[in-house]
A and B are shown apart, each in its own frame.
Chain A
Amino acid sequence: DVKVTQSSRYLVKRTGEKVFLECVQDMDHENMFWYRQDPGLGLRLIYFSYDVKMKEKGDIPEGYSVSREKKERFSLILESASTNQTSMYLCASRRYSGIIEQFFGPGTRLTVL
């Protein structure tokens, strides 16, 4: 079974703090994604990566950055957390081609006070 894990299920941070969210997948997938999920807005893509050290902006990249130093690991960074970044963050991965089913991690519920 594909497994996508995220470093924390729940996280509470203060405004202005630098926040790291980590995601690891164990199926050698090329593509990895970071979404945030908010009520009524659905899943919105923040950033994605299709290879090591490669990254592409999604729909809402402002206030976020990412890092992919190894194929299995994709990190989301909030440079200076703000209250409007309180959300559920979901990581996902899938192969570049062939079966394009996307596998999600369990999510990190981030609260910024």
Chain B
Amino acid sequence: GQNIDQPTEMTATEGAIVQINCTYQTSGFNGLFWYQQHAGEAPTFLSYNVLDGLEEKGRFSSFLSRSKGYSYLLLKELQMKDSASYLCAVRYNYGQNFVFGPGTRLSVLP
């Protein structure tokens, strides 16, 4: 299978920085996505990486290392509203579907 691994849960403090890791099988890799999903709501797109390196978008950044099969989502200046699940998804072999990881539930504490 094409397993994607993420930590199940993380906790961080308001104002801090948190890094959510994602590892995946590299064979056939063709792009990695991060989504945010608040409880009871639909996932919303955060970022897309297909080349190695860091993509920055405001308080959120996403990093990719294709050779290592590794990505992380970095959230800076955490706010309470960042409490959500963060889903890592990989597109394989130019296919039309993505493979999703189990998601990481982030709790931001005051």
Contacts and interface: CB of A to CB of B under 8 A. Distances in A.
Interface residues of A, number: 24
A44 interface: yes
B67 interface: no
Contacts of A40: 8, 102
A39 to B, nearest CB: 9
Contacts of A41: 102
Interface stretch (A13-21, A66-74, A101-109): A101-109
Interface residues of B, number: 21
B43 A50 contact: no
Contacts, number: 48
A42 B43 contact: no
A72 B20 CA distance: 35
A76 interface: no
Interface string A4-46: 1000000000000000000000000001010100001111110
A90 interface: yes
- Pairs of residues from A and B, 9 with the lowest C-beta to C-beta distance, nearest first: A104-B42, A43-B100, A42-B102, A42-B100, A101-B45, A104-B43, A106-B42, A45-B97, A31-B96
Given A42-B87, A106-B41, A106-B42, 7 more contacts: A35-B100, A40-B8, A42-B102, A43-B87, A45-B98, A56-B97, A100-B31
